[in-house]
Amino acid sequence: MIDTHTHLDTRGLEDLELMALTLEKVVTLAHDPFEMKTLDVWEVHLNKVLSEIKRGGKVGLDVYVCLGIHPRAIPPSVDEAIKLLEKYIKLDKVVAIGEIGLEKGDKKEEEAFIKQVEFANKVGYPIVVHTPRRNKEEITKKILELLQTFNLKVDVVIDHCNKEIINSVLDQGYYAGLTVQPGKLTADEALNLIKDNLDFSDKIMLNSDTSSNYSDVLAVPKTVLKMKLEGIDKEVIEKIAKKNAESFFKF
């Protein structure tokens, strides 16, 4: 099983150990722990996220990393940040650009998002896209419209999907990330979304979005258990809990 979206740097070692007991791989992403006042602050954050590879290793957790500019944590110069990103993505176990996306959807966020999609497309890295809690439908529509303007050669996952947005995401050929976390989806809601979209079982991935907020580090295995109890086909479970992530992140 693979947890495709976490922020391990917000958590104690016990949580990483619990994940190591149940998960083959975990992906941890850049996010918004503080104001990215300068480029140095943002770079320090990238290094913090990268250091989770080593910390995970201590307890047997196989950690992979996505780096990028979160819409709630944009450093002063996006261009300079992307130049730095160009160096950092070459590091071992960095597998994608993320999480990027829109939160409020203003011009500044749009600029950072567009430039990063452009960059990811150029360097051939998959993209993990954040969608917000507020105005999710409206902001996701904007995200999908922006993505349409690119001739994308890389895979994209639209994360934190719910019933309002999952259809448009899957219909347009993107991966859909299901986040099982208090305030996002319950395991039962994720199960229902999976059952409603079995035709798209090649394009659904699971995650806990473990962060400093209430989270369930066992969200992925718990959702897998729900799928088993519901009698969902073994191969479908295998894809949603593991194979799709392997295809997407290429690890």
Interface residue list for a second copy (CB under 8 A): 9-15, 33-35, 37-38, 40-41, 43-45, 47-48, 51, 55, 210-215
Phi, psi (deg, nearest 5) at residue 98: 170, 170
CB of 98 to a second copy, least distance (A): 20
Nearer to a second copy, 55 or 141 (CB): 55
Peptide bond into 230 cis (omega under 30): no
**DSSP three-state, residue 52:** helix
Cross-strand partners of 63: 26
Task: Let me know: does 90 contact 124? Beta carbons within 8 Å.
Answer: no
CB of 53 to a second copy, least distance (A): 14
CB of 213 to a second copy, least distance (A): 5
Whole-number Cα distances in Å, 149 to 158, 165, 181, 250: 16, 19, 32, 25
CB of 210 to a second copy, least distance (A): 7
Nearer to a second copy, 92 or 214 (CB): 214
- Of 96, 61, 67, 98, nearest to 84 by C-alpha is 67
Nearer to a second copy, 8 or 144 (CB): 8
Residues 6+ apart with CB under 8 A from 109: 71, 74, 102, 103
Nearer to a second copy, 37 or 108 (CB): 37
Nearer to a second copy, 38 or 77 (CB): 38
CB of 132 to a second copy, least distance (A): 19
Name the residue with tokens 């567009």.
Answer: 114
